[in-house]
Amino acid sequence: MRFLRAPELPLDDPLVSDGATGRSSEPPSSPWHFFLWLASRRKGLMVAALFTSAIALGLLPVLPYFLTGAVDYGLAERDWGALTLWSLGLVAAGFASAVMIVWSHRLTVWWRADSSYRALQLVTRHVNRLGDELHRRATTGEVVAVGVSDMQRISQAVDSLSPMIGCVVGLLAVGILLFNTSVALGLTIFIGVFAVGLITGPVLSRLQRRQEAYRDRIGDITDRASDIVSGLRVLRGIGGEARFSATYRRDSQQLRKAGYKVATPIAWLGALGEGTPAILLGVVVWVSARLVATGDISAGQMVAAFGYTSALMMPVNWLIGVSYRVIEGRVACGKVCALLAVPARPEAENPVAGPQAGAELHDPESGLTVAGSELVAVASSDSDGIADVFDRLGGYADSGARFGEVELAQMDRDEVRRRVLVAEHDAYLFAGTLAEVVAARDGAGRVQAAVDAASANDVVDSLPDGLDTEVDNQVRTLSGGQRQRLRLARAIAADPEVLLLHEPTSAVDSHTESRIVDGLTAARRGRATAIATTSPLWLGRADRVVFVREGKVAAVGSHLELTAGHAEYRALVTRED
């Protein structure tokens, strides 16, 4: 039985349900539908978890039934055989309930792991598909909150489904048993449960609204914390710590207030979970006592009614409690759906093979062309505008950019990423050994040469184990200039056919920059390289300098030619007023 096993994580394809042979459709965009879609991907496991929970919790209210039989037919009648049979039935029901509880818990853990990990893989895959588009459409804090807190809440919500179904079965079992005892007692239970539902409905609705507001605050403050950590050195340098600390403190207080608002309906749910079963128990005892007085039921049946209702206290309490978890899961699914709804650039349906090596890369919107084996320096006063040009040349934005005679949009995206690399000066540095950070995916054999070219040997030598030193994300123990050289070394180690560098030496001194210019020129000889910069060191070494104004190529030539013949270019690179 395939469902009686733990899920094999990570999943081969999070869209494919267990046992399916084909690929299913994309997940629903509605939070509730998405939650149910996640929960039903492994139908066999879901049914088994719900079934065992229904048996486990459904048997608990039945235990007083055997106790009543032992009293009425065994002790009252002094029939030791009947007493033995009813007692054995009580033991068997208790044992079966215990076994089912163990199996229900085990299956539910597997079920929630499959659902939450499936959601995590969907988010991870979509984030990878979005690529550079992600930071334009979603904040860092929102993505972090989705990947951490929301996945935990989805897991807890799926975990709540099993006891929820079991509690419903337990309620039905008690109602049926009380109906068999007395119609009045059965109606009392069903009317009481219906009244509890009417009372808790508005409370759950208010909880959902406040939980959504609280979750939004979590995303905001996580984003704020991420900004502070990433810019801590700069904040200290300009004396901005106090201002950002005050802003963070204000946001933290707003989050605390939002948490207090969430706590109010949760407290009401807790009170209802504890109080309503006790009220139901009191009403049932009062009704059954009157029925005993009128001779409609026996004293043993009254004891049974008390036992049934007492056993009902736990299911009602659980049912109200798990509803809170399900509401949290619904809010989390809403955030996941919002992230999955961020549109990714469509891939070519029938990708075309790229051109032969050495082809020109051309952006018709700006007029910039990067030839097959030259070093091109791109100078502009608009750094963001050049970043947009590089994004188009790298296939990160929709455009008519061409690689040779082939449009980038028609090429296979993996081929574009392999042949054209856009390296930003503040690109993310991942955790691992320094060698792994520089090597990235394909540069393991070129690490030392890349470190030499980026003039980063002093960075390596300053670390205790050199290239084998373990570093954290973003390597925050290093200075901005040191990290920038590591990013440049990583770009050189990748050895792409076309390398587009954005301000690669903006954080280093002129002597280090001069060594980097020499090293990169030698390392990239025979390969196309474009560098966005206004540094005379790069401009003087470039085979061709392109001056861009307002997103368009305004002049092309050597550094000396443009300095002598173009006043606006000369003012830019010499810092003239």
| Adjacent-strand bridge partners of 555 | 547
Q: What is the pLDDT of residue 235?
A: 59
Structure tokens belonging to residue 466: 């050199």
Q: CA angle 220-27-142, nearest 5°?
A: 10
Beta carbons of 350 and 386 less than 8 angstroms apart: no
Q: How confident is the model at residue 2 (pLDDT cuts 50, 70, 90)?
A: low
How does DSSP classify residue 73?
I
How many CB atoms are closer than 10 A to CB 228?
16
CATH superfamily of 361-427+491-574: P-loop containing nucleotide triphosphate hydrolases (3.40.50.300)
Burial of 26 (0-12, 13-18, 19+ CB in 10 A): exposed
Q: Which amino acid is at 461?
A: D
Distance CA(144)–CA(556), nearest Å, equals: 44
Structure tokens belonging to residue 400: 């008519």
Q: What is the pLDDT of residue 283?
A: 86
pLDDT digits (tens, 9 = 90+) for 472-503: 888 888 888 999 999 999 999 999 999 999 99
365-388 burial code (b ≥16 CB/10 A, e <16): ebebbbbbebbbbbbbeeeebbbb
Structure tokens belonging to residue 576: 């003239």
Residue 1 above 60 pLDDT? no
Q: What is the pLDDT of residue 274?
A: 80
Q: What is the pLDDT of residue 249?
A: 86
CATH superfamily of 31-128+137-340: ABC transporter type 1, transmembrane domain (1.20.1560.10)
Distance CA(358)–CA(527), nearest Å, equals: 8
Distance CA(224)–CA(232), nearest Å, equals: 12
Task: Give 23's contacts (C-beta < 8 A, 6+ positions apart).
Answer: 13, 15, 16
Q: What is the pLDDT of residue 462?
A: 92
How does DSSP classify residue 446?
G
Domain-wise residue ranges, the chain = 31-128+137-340, 361-427+491-574
Pick the residue with more confidence: 309 or 252? 252
- Percentage of the chain modeled with pLDDT above 70: 94
Q: What is the pLDDT of residue 576?
A: 64
Beta carbons of 472 and 431 less than 8 angstroms apart: yes
Q: How far is CA 139 from CA 31, 136, 272, 286, 342, in A?
A: 20, 8, 38, 59, 12
Q: For the chain, how are helix, strand and coil distributed in percent, rounded to 5?
A: 70, 10, 25
pLDDT digits (tens, 9 = 90+) for 108-152: 999 999 999 999 999 999 888 887 777 777 777 778 888 888 999
Distance CA(480)–CA(488), nearest Å, equals: 12
Lowest-confidence segment of 169-183, 413-427, 444-458, 543-557 by average pLDDT:
169-183
Distance CA(502)–CA(453), nearest Å, equals: 17
How many CB atoms are closer than 10 A to CB 162?
27
Q: What is the pLDDT of residue 63?
A: 80
Task: Give 430's contacts (C-beta < 8 A, 6+ positions apart).
Answer: 437, 473
Beta carbons of 403 and 420 less than 8 angstroms apart: yes
Task: Give 239's contacts (C-beta < 8 A, 6+ positions apart).
Answer: none
Q: CA angle 378-383-387, nearest 5°?
A: 80
Residue 81 above 80 pLDDT? yes
Q: What is the pLDDT of residue 577?
A: 54
pLDDT digits (tens, 9 = 90+) for 347-379: 777 888 989 988 999 999 999 999 888 999 999
Lowest-confidence segment of 189-203, 221-235, 287-301, 384-398 by average pLDDT:
221-235
Distance CA(130)–CA(133), nearest Å, equals: 5
What's the whole-number average pLDDT of the chain?
A: 86
Phi, psi (deg, nearest 5) at residue 204: -65, -40
Q: Of 273, 276, 274, 306, nearest to 292 (Cα)? A: 306
4-14 burial code (b ≥16 CB/10 A, e <16): eeebeeebeeb
Residue 24 above 90 pLDDT? no
pLDDT digits (tens, 9 = 90+) for 527-570: 999 999 999 999 999 999 999 999 999 999 999 999 998 999 99
Q: Of 175, 163, 36, nearest to 108 (Cα)? A: 163
Q: How confident is the model at residue 452 (pLDDT cuts 50, 70, 90)?
A: very high
Q: Of 135, 153, 134, nearest to 214 (Cα)? A: 153
Residue 15 above 90 pLDDT? no
Residue 23 above 60 pLDDT? no
In 3-state terms, what secondary structure has residue 202? helix
Q: How confident is the model at residue 3 (pLDDT cuts 50, 70, 90)?
A: low
Q: What is the pLDDT of residue 266?
A: 85
pLDDT digits (tens, 9 = 90+) for 173-224: 888 878 888 888 888 888 888 888 888 888 888 888 898 888 888 877 877 7
**Residue written as token pair 């065992």:** 52
- pTM of the entire predicted model: 0.74
- Percentage of the chain modeled with pLDDT above 90: 42
